[in-house]
Structure 1
Amino acid sequence: MRLSTVILPVHPWQRGRELWTGAEQLGFHAAYTYDHLSWRSFRDGPWYGALPTLTAAAGVTSTLRLGTLVTSPNFRHPVTLAKELITLDDISGGRITLGIGAGGSGFDATALGQEAWTPRERADRFGEFLPLLDRLLTEDVVSAEGTYYPAHEVRNIPGCVQRPRLPFAVAATGPRGLRLAARYGQAWVTYGDPRGPRDVAVEDCPGVIRAQLGKLEAACAEEGRDPAGIDRVLLQGSTRERPLESVDAFVDYAGRYAELGITEIVLHWPIPDSVYAADLAVFEKIAVDGLAQLNG
């Protein structure tokens, strides 16, 4: 199992730099950030852009993988996104993972003046967005007559440092999204039950992940793909579980999900006075000792 973190883009870079370099020093496998224009309880406070933040992080780290968790079509277009990702992959020396999903109905969904899409519309758009992005990151010249995302003789030379392209970590729980994960993903991402923590008891959380993993395996079977070839990423922080209370709590949490087949756990870097408040000293001890204790 690998241990990663997600650093929300709420800090000016003078402070943000310390966090991203700190993540590398603590030995995290990867550090991700949310790709939103704003997000829930943080909406009325500082919030910086994901891709510029990752570009800056690439310049002050050398071994840490970097990525979005997650990007969506809510305010992105695959043509412009591909160009930015190719550039970011070059700047980082091939350390970028694109976490990507269909998006939700939050603030991003209407920021550009459009009506929020229905779940079916989001799925339709994502079903066109992801295949086109795959082509844009693997082919030198791309034209496509899409319903939502046309492309005309788009050049993306020299392409990604990582070949054939940078990895996709596809966030999905529904059947269409899971098929896309099985077809295009190098990893699959879940944060638990989409209903949220108020509706799912702690003891039921592992069962939710077990059922999702079963659906992922079924989607892989439909695509003729070995599910063992897809990493399985669990983003912590959207359930009633409290793995950051102590190292022992983390070991119990990580052990349960390792047994189910999760291969990477992503912990939110603590933010005081927020939904992600936690003891920083405990968090750092988990980063240093948690997996060693789990494996021991």
Structure 2
Amino acid sequence: MRLSTVILPIYRWSEGQKIWRQAEDLGFHAAYTYDHLSWRTFRDGPWFGAVPTLTAAAAATRSMRLGTLVTSPNFRHPVTLAKDLITLDDVSGGRITLGIGAGGSGFDATTLRRSDEAPWTPRERADHFEEFVPLLDRLLREPSVTQEGRFYAANEARNIPGCVQRPRLPFAVAATGPRGMSLAARYGQAWVTTGDPKLFATGTPEQSVAAIRGQTERLGAACEEAGRDVTELDKILLTGFTPGRPLRSFDAFVDFAGTHFDLGITEIVVHWPVPDSDFALDTKVFERIATEALAQLT
């Protein structure tokens, strides 16, 4: 199992660069950031762009993987995103992972919409995602792409020299429904879950474990249908959205990680502590989790 972190893009770089370097020094496998225009309770505070943040982080670190958790069609186009990703992969020396999902219905999902436009429904988000991922896959693999779809077009979109990572940088596809699971099975090098959101407020840890077990089983079925071995995909759990408080103590996290390792999860992602927020955490506990927790599972 691997342990990674999410560093929210809320810091001026004079402070942020120290955090990204510290994440590497603590031994995290990867450090991700959210690709939003702003987010939830942080909407009235500082929030910087994901791609420039990751570019700066690539220059500030040496070997730690970097990426988004997650990018979505809510405010991205495959053609321009592909160009950004190829550049990021080059600057980082081939250390970028693209976390990608269908997007949610939060307030920033409508930032680019006219006031008379209704937010996308779940079906519409899935429709866009189903076209977005295959086109992005082509754009990152091929030097020139022309394609016209229902939502997206590319007209001789040139992406030379392509990704450092071949045949392209890895996709970590966030999915719980059948259409998303199918995309993960066909295009993903990893699958991402946050658990079952319906259980966060009123569910129990036991119910959450059962829900994630069901998700992994559905992923296996989708891989079988796609002709892939499910073991080819990493299984990433982004914490912070399941019942209970697994980071309240070192021992609690070790138990949590062991339980989810038994479910087939191969990477757990914890949020870098943010005081006075949902991600507040004792820094000594966090650092001990980063440096010692996985050793307890071997």
Given the two structures, how large is their TM-score scaled by the length of structure 2?
A: 0.98
Structure 2 gap segments, 5+ residues each: none
Q: Deviations over 1:224-275 (max 9, x none)?
A: 1100000000000012222212211111000000001000000001100001
1:197-216 paired onto structure 2 within 5 Å: 197-216=200-219
The number of residue pairs the alignment matches comes to 295
Name the structure 2 match of 1:103.
103
Return the alpha-carbon distance in structure 1 between the equivalents of residues 193 and 168 of structure 2.
22
The answer on whether the counterparts of 1:36 and 1:50 sit within 8 Å (CA) in structure 2 is yes
Shift of 1:113: 2.0
> After TM superposition, which residue ranges in structure 1, 4 or more long, deviate above 2 angstroms?
none
1:26-175 paired onto structure 2 within 5 Å: 26-114=26-114, 115-175=118-178
Counterpart amino acid of residue 122 in structure 1: R
The answer on whether the counterparts of 1:37 and 1:107 sit within 8 Å (CA) in structure 2 is no
- Give 3-state SS (helix, strand or coil) of 2:70's partner: strand
The answer on whether the counterparts of 1:5 and 1:266 sit within 8 Å (CA) in structure 2 is yes
- Give 3-state SS (helix, strand or coil) of 1:284's partner: helix
Identity %: 69
Matched, 1:280 2:283: yes
Question: Which moves more between the two structures, 87-96 or 239-248?
Answer: 239-248
The answer on whether the counterparts of 2:199 and 2:207 sit within 8 Å (CA) in structure 1 is no
Name the structure 1 match of 2:237.
234
RMSD: 0.8
The answer on whether the counterparts of 1:82 and 1:136 sit within 8 Å (CA) in structure 2 is yes
Counterpart amino acid of residue 89 in structure 2: D
Return the alpha-carbon distance in structure 1 between the equivalents of residues 51 and 181 of structure 2.
25
Return the alpha-carbon distance in structure 2 between the equivalents of residues 84 and 4 of structure 1.
23
Name the structure 1 match of 2:16.
16
Shift of 1:199: 3.4
Return the alpha-carbon distance in structure 2 between the equivalents of residues 41 and 100 of structure 1.
22
Structure 1 gap segments, 5+ residues each: none
Q: Deviations over 1:56-96 (max 9, x none)?
A: 00001011000000000000000000000000000000000
Name the structure 2 match of 1:218.
221
The answer on whether the counterparts of 1:7 and 1:33 sit within 8 Å (CA) in structure 2 is yes
- Give 3-state SS (helix, strand or coil) of 1:270's partner: coil
Counterpart amino acid of residue 190 in structure 2: A
Counterpart amino acid of residue 101 in structure 2: G
Matched, 1:252 2:217: no
The answer on whether the counterparts of 1:193 and 1:200 sit within 8 Å (CA) in structure 2 is no
- Give 3-state SS (helix, strand or coil) of 1:195's partner: helix
Q: Deviations over 1:94-153 (max 9, x none)?
A: 000000000010122110124310000000000000000000000000000111111100
